[in-house]
Amino acid sequence: MPVSARVRPSRLSAVLAAVGALVLAGCAGTATEERAPSTVAVPEELAQFYTQGVEWGDCGGFGVDGPILARSGAQCGRISVPLDYDDPDGPTATLAMSRIAADDERIGSVLVNPGGPGASGLSTVLAAAGTELAAQFDIVGFDPRGIGSSDPQVRCLTAAETDADRAVDDGDRSPEGIEASEKRNREYAQLCAERTGEDLLAHVGTADVVRDMDVIRGVLGDDSLNFLGYSYGTRLGTVYAETFPDRVRAMVLDGAIDPEQDPVEEIVLQAEGFQKAFDEFAADCVGRSDCPLGNDPAQASARFHQIVDPLIAEPAGTTDPRGLSYRDAITGVQQGLYSSALWGSLRGGLSSLADGNGDTLLRLADLYEGREDDGTYSSINDAFNAVRCVDDQPVIDRAVAGELDVRFRQAAPFLDDGRGTGEAPLDVCAFWPVPATGEPHTPDVPDLAPVLVVSTTGDPATPYQAGADLARQLGGALVSFDGNQHTVVLDGISCVDDVVTRYFIDLEVPETDPHC
């Protein structure tokens, strides 16, 4: 049973692109005029970073999304930031950026982040292509430090090591199984330190990324920030607002993380969210003739276990020689629960698995894990661990780890493999080579410009209430969406997108929740 501090999001557009359903056409962009510099005063020692230019050009060479970006007409470029803001004359990091330039009367830039932590943000700009928002704002994406096409990258495991790790059974809760899991976690943390370096690991957290975001704001020539953050990106937005409250013009936070929430409670609430998503999926499935879960929703969870639990003893066959492990099957199922648009793939994957074929679920798991068709991996998995381990205080009390395992199984019975003992291994963050810097807290930003928080009622990864709570904490407005997916802005839901567009362009804040 996987237990992680935060399940990584997958923007639906990115998933569809990965499976070949997104087709883009157009010409590669060319550099446009440079923007006038920002007039916001910055510390003298950082001036060189805020005043640097960006050479916008073709996106070839900017990761696996580069060709898609190039065909869409987007442009890409790079800037430098201090690795350690307390040592601005020391080593630097290079950030990769993407842009769809405004084609109408330009108001400014909107910086976007897809979440993760660990996800590349370059292709996120494509969600806004052709919209009224993109007509009046440059839409700008970026790969945060250590991630994607930024340099240096967080790298802990090779592709072969990652394949091997995914095949390992990590659900054994016997004393021997717990000892083996903790041994793997220690070794992983050690490899991260050796292959990435502790200096970078210490500076990939949210506190450093929001300072990079302010450099990006200055480089783009904006005196105040317009920001659209999804999932973990809402944490970036919240901390930016706390750090630079007078530099926020407009901020949309979709799929919120509650900063008051203890990470342990967050895991339990997330488990409840995935159980709710599974129940919704099962209710839809049982009414179809091809449903692998039978025709009785009350028996759907039991049937699910009959299909997936045998993988604990023996992987299912796949065209790929790896086979489908139990661990990958659960990962694939969770990927399929991120959006109702993926329920057809999930239903087909479970049907195939019932017949002994694990190809579809393995493909869904590969999407989640960032594995490409050639067997290479993006940095998302390693970066996810690196960011969360420096952002959140680790669980180092084994009694707390055991209690969390029990509560997780209770909150999400469909993920309970029946092997719980009340004990559990310490997570990899307990062995991390650099200290965590974040703590749960209540944001205190009394003079913040009104922000807009969007929350989806059936969001499995960032439950609805977290968005309602964040809107309250920041004194912002709430937009509720009735749906079963993780995040919704720019997914083509006009009720949501119209509110967001008017907010960014005209700074119109709804007086009451439009509840789309």
Tell me which residues are annotated as active site: 231, 459, 486
Tokens linked to 377: 């991996």
In angstroms, the CA 72 to CA 445 distance is 38
CB 499, CB 442: distance < 8 Å: no
d(CA 435, CA 513): 40
Gap between the terminal Cα atoms of the chain? 35
Alpha carbon distance 240, 503 (integer Å)? 19
Q: In whole angstroms, what is the distance from residue 238 CA to residue 253 CA?
A: 8
Peptide bond into 114 cis (omega under 30): no
- Distance CA(261)–CA(278), nearest Å, equals 24
Q: What is the 3-state secondary structure (H, E, C) of 80-125?
A: EEECCCCCCCCCEEEEEEEEECCCCCCCEEEEEECCCCCCCCHHHH
Contact predicate 112/139, CB 8 Å: yes
Rounded to 5 degrees, φ, ψ at 191 are: -65, -40
Q: How far is CA 83 from CA 6, 49, 213, 246, in A?
A: 25, 12, 13, 24
Q: How far apart are CA 101 and CA 31, in angstroms?
A: 10
Provide CB contacts within 8 A for 23, sequence distance 6+.
none
Q: For residue 447, how many other CB atoms are within 10 A of its CB?
A: 8
Please give the Cα distance from 163 to 157 (Å, whole number). 9
The strands making up 92-100's β-sheet, listed across from edge to edge, are 75-82, 92-100, 137-143, 108-113, 225-230, 248-254, 452-456, 477-481
> Angle of helix 343-354 relative to helix 359-369, nearest 10 degrees?
130
